[in-house]
């Protein structure tokens, strides 16, 4: 009997306490650091400190940055459009969480 080979998937748990450097965030999103810098300058992404040479980002910023990559790629949004859409998506998710807590959503 032939033995099936299953691919091994490894990952890293990113939580609120995890921090990423500018280079790590850019690499995780498969973008150039300049792209991340632009998003920080426009207020789309928020580093932990204002000192650009030591930027670190909390784990949840990774999800926001990856969403920004997809939105820019799929919808060709500019930076202002990215900020608006990401803020609206976060607001919708926040409202859904509140409705779930109230028992109004499954």
CATH of the domain at 81: 1.10.1660.10
pLDDT of residue 11: 64
Please report whether residue 31 resides in a domain. yes
Please report whether residue 58 resides in a domain. yes
Handedness of CA 25, 44, 36, 79 (dihedral sign): positive
Please report whether residue 13 resides in a domain. no
Instruction: State pLDDT tens for residues 33-52.
Output: 999 999 999 999 999 987 77
Please report whether residue 9 resides in a domain. no
Please report whether residue 1 resides in a domain. no
Please report whether residue 23 resides in a domain. yes
Total tally of structural domains belonging to the chain: 1
Percentage with pLDDT > 90 across the chain? 67
Confidence check: pLDDT of 103 > 70: yes
Domain range spanning residue 44? 19-101
């Amino acid at each position: 009997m032939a033995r099936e080979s299953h691919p091994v998937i490894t990952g890293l748990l990113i939580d609120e306490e995890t921090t990423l450097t500018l280079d790590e965030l850019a690499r995780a999103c498969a973008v150039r650091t300049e792209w991340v810098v632009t998003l920080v300058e426009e207020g789309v992404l928020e580093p932990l400190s204002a000192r650009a040479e030591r930027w670190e980002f909390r784990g949840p910023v990774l999800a926001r940055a990856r969403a920004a990559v997809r939105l820019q790629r799929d919808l060709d949004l500019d930076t202002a459009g990215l900020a608006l859409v990401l803020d609206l998506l976060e607001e919708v998710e926040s409202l859904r969480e509140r409705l779930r807590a109230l028992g109004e959503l499954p």
